[in-house]
């Protein structure tokens, strides 16, 4: 991606995402008693939260709606629901369409022109409570303006629950595209994608683009994906495409699935048998071909430096906060990348080798 466009889009994305994050207050001095601390902390939190909401600069809160301007992050564009089908526990495949004449033309010579190169997302607005959330179109957008989303409904997720109720023909406003990460075909030897739940959507968008182009110059891709149960794995629309691509291109793409529990319906036979447990350091080392396992007595008396592959490897991480924190460390303030932590930091990988989505 163009650097200027990337910074512009990421700025908008971070501002939007930052609204949903809370910031902890400094701990009071110990001279205060517990009975006094609680009201003070609560009051400070309320004041800070209200101040942040009303005074934090956010152009999207007052972004207009246009039915004639080209699709852009600066305003909302009405789209129409084509279908909204169940795809698993608390998930749906939602297909939207925007008027094709409103799709902007991508101009590689213009650093400020919108880009539909992976990985990008759009903000979808809940008109009832005027709240927006980012969602990644699985296959980007086609020439007819159609976009397909995999939407999960969370107990406290206002927009997801609202989207699950939408019916064909109804209108939904969105704005974008906003670039999340810039795909550069020849920069890396291997890209390792680690995802949990609906965090697979940006990686599917990237892989769908790679599959469609059938470029020989693309790096090797590895996908490590985790779900709670086999029933919560991504729907066939996603998994069948990836499974076929892996079978036809074993030197180009490999996929490994993980589940916390094997309870419920097993996955289809043509999919890789999920490993029981979460994605940890051994799984990452195995996918990189690294052997850091020593006997217990050797680990006791001799500390080996972390091994890293000689090839250029990039890690992309997307999923629930708990998973992202464990794999690559938490996001920074205002949803910035923050320092690299977790397993990847222990393995010696640096900030220019890890990107959190």
**How many residues belong to the chain?**
357
Q: From CA 211, how far away is CA 206, in angstroms rounded?
A: 9
The 8-class DSSP code of residue 138 comes to T
Q: Is 356 annotated as a binding residue?
A: no
Place of tokens 């940006």: 202
CA distances from 57 to 15, 80, 124 (A): 8, 30, 19
Q: Is 204 annotated as a binding residue?
A: no
Asked if 164 and 65 count as a contact pair (C-beta separation under 8 A), the reply is: no
**Alpha helix segments (H runs only) across the chain:** 3-18, 34-55, 158-164, 201-213, 236-248, 281-288, 296-301, 321-328, 342-346
Q: Is 159 annotated as a binding residue?
A: yes
Asked if 233 and 196 count as a contact pair (C-beta separation under 8 A), the reply is: no
Whether omega before 119 lies within 30 degrees of 0, making that bond cis, reads yes
Q: Is 118 annotated as a binding residue?
A: no
Asked if 280 and 271 count as a contact pair (C-beta separation under 8 A), the reply is: no
Closest CA to 8 of 229, 223, 176, 212: 176
Backbone φ and ψ for 177, nearest 5 degrees, come out as -80, 150
Side-chain half-sphere CA neighbours of 224 within 13 A: 24
Q: From CA 153, how far away is CA 248, in angstroms rounded?
A: 34
Q: Is 135 annotated as a binding residue?
A: yes
Q: From CA 37, how far away is CA 22, in angstroms rounded?
A: 19
Q: Is 278 annotated as a binding residue?
A: no
**Collapsing DSSP states into helix, strand and coil, what is residue 189?**
coil
Tokens read off for 68: 């004639």
Binding residues for FAD: 133-135, 152, 159, 201
Binding residues: 133-135, 152, 159, 201
């Amino acid at each position: 991606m163009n650097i200027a466009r990337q910074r512009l889009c990421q700025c908008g994305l971070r501002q939007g995402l930052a609204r949903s994050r809370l910031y902890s207050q400094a701990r009071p001095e110990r001279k205060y008693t517990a009975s006094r601390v609680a009201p003070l902390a609560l009051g400070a939190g309320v004041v800070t939260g209200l101040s942040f909401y009303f005074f934090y600069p956010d152009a999207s809160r007052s972004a207009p709606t246009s039915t004639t301007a080209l699709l852009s992050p600066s305003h909302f564009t009405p789209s129409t629901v084509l279908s909204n089908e169940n795809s698993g526990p608390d998930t749906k495949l939602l297909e939207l369409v925007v008027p094709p004449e409103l799709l902007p033309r991508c101009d590689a010579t213009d650093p400020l022109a919108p880009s539909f190169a992976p990985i990008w997302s759009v903000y979808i607005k809940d008109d009832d409570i005027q709240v927006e959330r980012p969602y990644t179109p699985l296959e980007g957008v086609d020439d007819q303006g159609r976009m397909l989303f995999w939407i999960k409904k969370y107990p406290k997720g206002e927009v997801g629950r609202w989207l699950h109720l939408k019916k064909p023909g109804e209108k939904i406003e969105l704005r974008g595209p906003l670039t999340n990460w810039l795909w550069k075909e020849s920069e890396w030897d291997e890209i390792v994608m680690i995802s949990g739940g609906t965090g697979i959507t940006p990686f599917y968008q990237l892989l769908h683009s790679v599959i469609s182009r059938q470029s020989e110059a693309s790096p090797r891709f590895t996908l490590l994906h985790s779900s709670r149960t086999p029933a919560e794995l991504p729907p066939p629309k996603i998994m069948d495409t990836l499974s076929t691509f892996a079978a036809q291109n074993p030197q180009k793409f490999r996929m490994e699935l993980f589940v916390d529990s094997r309870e419920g319906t097993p996955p289809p036979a043509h999919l890789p048998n999920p490993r029981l447990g979460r994605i940890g350091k051994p799984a990452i080392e195995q996918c990189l071909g690294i052997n850091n396992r020593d006997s217990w007595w050797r680990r006791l008396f001799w500390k080996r430096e972390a091994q890293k592959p000689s090839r250029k490897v990039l890690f992309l991480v997307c999923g629930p906060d708990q998973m992202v924190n464990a794999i690559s460390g938490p996001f920074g303030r205002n949803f910035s990348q923050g320092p690299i932590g977790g397993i990847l930091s222990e393995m010696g990988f640096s900030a220019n080798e890890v990107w959190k989505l």
